[in-house]
Amino acid sequence: MAEHQVFKIASIPADGVGKEVVAAGRKVLDALAEQSNGKFSFEWTEFPWGSEYYAEHGVMMDPNGLEELKNFDAILFGAVGWENVPDHVSLWGLRLNITQNFDQWANIRPVRFLPGVVSPLRTADDTELDWVVVRENSEGEYAGLGGRNLSGRGPGNEVAIQSSLFTEKGCERIIRFAFDLARTRAVRKVSSVTKSNAQQYGMVLWDEVFARVAADYPDVATESVLVDAMSAKFILHPEELSVVVASNLNADILSDLGSALAGSLGLAASANLNPERRFPSMFEPVHGSAPDIAGKGISNPIGTVASAALMLDHFGLHAEARRVEAAIEATTAAGHLTRDIGGTADTNEITEAIVEALAKSLTSA
């Protein structure tokens, strides 16, 4: 019999709906492990970090937290952001603290259209749509370079500088990642997105690296599109998209647009990868803490469950990842929908429906 694998997972639900959706993701992964016939299981350690932790300790996570996290195979993250902490403090103190220090430089954000979920795009009704946004996750507009000064000159005189950082190495590794990903997909195409007509240094460097790397992948179609034009393309010609690679900020914005077009931000999954595996990778829904619905038990767990499927892929459990995705599809196709996608079901009902669909897929296999 094959050896039993134990995956050590750090769970960080953090703020707002993060708590509910991470609990849902854990439930689905544990159900899958139970059905694995002893092939694998998950060992969970939950960390209390986030804005409540900040209220008590003055920091978003334990100062030794990164050292602790290094001992895990992966991290399942919820969401960050609450009213008691300025957004830039909570984001840099937790999510970006982990992604940047663990060099999770590739953030993949699939845009998937699910059966039974109505898209605001008319073309989604009769066209197969499915693309992936690849977000450069370590530099660009999120390099954290800059500062504020001169407030001593009196009201109205303060200055702030926020610089973007584009390194040739950083551009090349994310662009190669996008091309390698394109080679695994039915449509082999990479769309590179910048605003290099206006951002004439860093983004021109990006464009040049893109052209150079593209020459190594003659079997992959390419295009370079400005971010404003790409926003329009997401809506007008989404059928032309397969892999979309962009800088940190542009990809963050585009992936929100993509998931809204697929029906809801609540559906969108993401993986923050350290492809070299020097550090654990982190899996999280794209959505934030959603204070308006937090604690009501009505948040959509699909973004987190789909992120858990990306985690399974990361562990090499590809068949299991496909089973989770199929269970999500079976759930929405059967009309089990949360409020954000036009239904009335709550978080627990959707989670149970996914677990049930998983069990059914086992008996029908």
| List of residues contacting ligand GGG (CB under 6 A) | 79-81, 91, 95, 252, 284-286, 288
Helix H or strand E segment including 147: strand 140-149
DSSP designation for 19: H
User: Could you tell me the smallest distance in angstroms from the CB atom of residue 112 to ligand GGG?
Assistant: 17
Q: Which of 226, 222, 261, 265 is nearest to 240 (CA)?
A: 222
- 107 or 191: whose CB is closer to ligand GGG? 107
β-pairing, 221-226 with 243-246?
unpaired
The DSSP code sequence of 256-270 is HHHHHHTT-GGG-EE
User: Could you tell me the smallest distance in angstroms from the CB atom of residue 81 to ligand GGG?
Assistant: 5
d(CA 136, CA 164): 12
d(CA 174, CA 254): 16
User: Could you tell me the smallest distance in angstroms from the CB atom of residue 140 to ligand GGG?
Assistant: 11
- 255 or 332: whose CB is closer to ligand GGG? 255
**Which token pair is 166?**
């584009």
* φ, ψ at 325 (rounded to 5°): -65, -40
Helix H or strand E segment including 108: strand 106-112
- 104 or 331: whose CB is closer to ligand GGG? 104
329 and 353 Cβ atoms separated by less than 8 Å: no
User: Could you tell me the smallest distance in angstroms from the CB atom of residue 86 to ligand GGG?
Assistant: 12
- 14 or 345: whose CB is closer to ligand GGG? 14
- 97 or 199: whose CB is closer to ligand GGG? 97
User: Could you tell me the smallest distance in angstroms from the CB atom of residue 329 to ligand GGG?
Assistant: 22
User: Could you tell me the smallest distance in angstroms from the CB atom of residue 142 to ligand GGG?
Assistant: 7
d(CA 132, CA 112): 8
- 65 or 81: whose CB is closer to ligand GGG? 81
- 259 or 332: whose CB is closer to ligand GGG? 259
Cross-sheet strand order for the sheet of 281-285:
40-46, 5-14, 74-79, 281-285, 269-273, 106-112, 130-136, 243-246, 189-194, 221-226
User: Could you tell me the smallest distance in angstroms from the CB atom of residue 15 to ligand GGG?
Assistant: 8
- 27 or 95: whose CB is closer to ligand GGG? 95
**Helix, strand or coil for residue 148?**
strand
Q: Which residue is nearest to ligand GGG (CB)?
A: 79
51 and 15 Cβ atoms separated by less than 8 Å: yes
User: Could you tell me the smallest distance in angstroms from the CB atom of residue 56 to ligand GGG?
Assistant: 20
